[in-house]
Amino acid sequence: MDSGVSALDQFQQDLDVIGNNIANVDTVGFKSANVEFADALSETIGSNSAGSEQVGTGVITNSITDSFTQGSITSTGVPSNLAINGNGFFLVKDPSSGEEYVTRDGDFTVNSSGDLVTSNGMLVQGYTGATGNTLGNIQISNAYAPNGDTSAVQSYTINGDGTVSILLADGTQFTGGQVLVQNFTAPTQLISVGDNLYTGMTNAGALAAPVAPGTSGTGSLVSGSLEMSNVDLASQLTDLITAQRGFEANAQTVTTSNEILQDLVNLKH
């Protein structure tokens, strides 16, 4: 009975993870999670000439890890939308707390101050201006225009290496900064905090500093596009059926154990 109960707990957790994956099948930049099981500590009930006699005590969840495989890249035609084709994460900062996060969700927009921001207002980080040595908020504005030009922004493009090229209404064109990306040696150690954001960068083996896309093992940027969820719906539905059947089978184990105990109780009468 104990083994059956432990399995019910773990399969319920598996169903929760699968359900969350399926729920986020259309979430931009979402990374699916996988549950890994392991057998619980076996109970030694005796020994013989062949060795110890042990009985398993059920199953435990060994780990729940995110899969950072590439999601499909879909064109949106929106110049502020970015996708990473390969490894790496966008670095963003909370404007109120100053705390930094990483994300694969490149559904960016330009706010009223000219900052490139995420859908929840986080500031996209990179090199500011044309010098390429100062980290800060990426600006789509005339803030770094040559000679203090105050003309309005007419258009802009973000290249594969993250370089932001801005064209002003008077025809002046200049480099307004460079979107940088962060890479990790162990991205599965990142901690999801919701809104497609991750923390735990030190434990995940972050590079010493963010780098230009396409360098240090990172992928290039695809402008006007978004990386979609990497959830394989067919695989998740198959896993859902397997988990459901596993839950049902172990529920039957608990029921059978209960019936045997009831028979033992009835032997007294």
Residue 1 in this model has a pLDDT that exceeds 80? no
**Pair 83, 105: CB distance under 8 Å:** no
Please determine, for residue 201, whether its predicted confidence score (pLDDT) is greater than 90: yes
Compute the average pLDDT of residues 61-66. Answer: 90
pLDDT tens digits for range 116-147: 999 999 999 999 988 778 999 999 999 999 99
Contact by Cβ (8 Å): 114, 141: yes
| Reported confidence tier of residue 78, pLDDT bands at 50, 70, 90 | very high
DSSP assignment of 83-127: EEESS-EEEEE-TTT--EEEES----EE-TTSBEE-TT-PEEEEE
User: Is pLDDT of 89 > 70?
Assistant: yes
Question: Interhelix angle for 233-266 vs 2-23, to 10°?
Answer: 160
Question: What is each CA distance from 175 to 9, 107, 131, 172, 211, in whole angstroms?
Answer: 55, 22, 9, 10, 17
pLDDT tens digits, residue range 5-45?
Answer: 888 889 899 999 999 999 999 999 999 999 998 887 666 66
The average confidence (pLDDT) of the chain is 91
Tell me phi and psi for residue 129, to 5 degrees: 75, -170
- Give the confidence band of 188 by pLDDT, cuts at 50, 70, 90: very high
Phi then psi for residue 21, to 5 deg, are -60, -50
Which residues have a Cβ under 8 Å from the Cβ of 163 and sit 6 or more positions away? 175, 177, 178
pLDDT in tens, 150-164: 999 999 999 999 999
pLDDT at 46: 66
Do 218 and 199 touch, CB atoms closer than 8 A? no
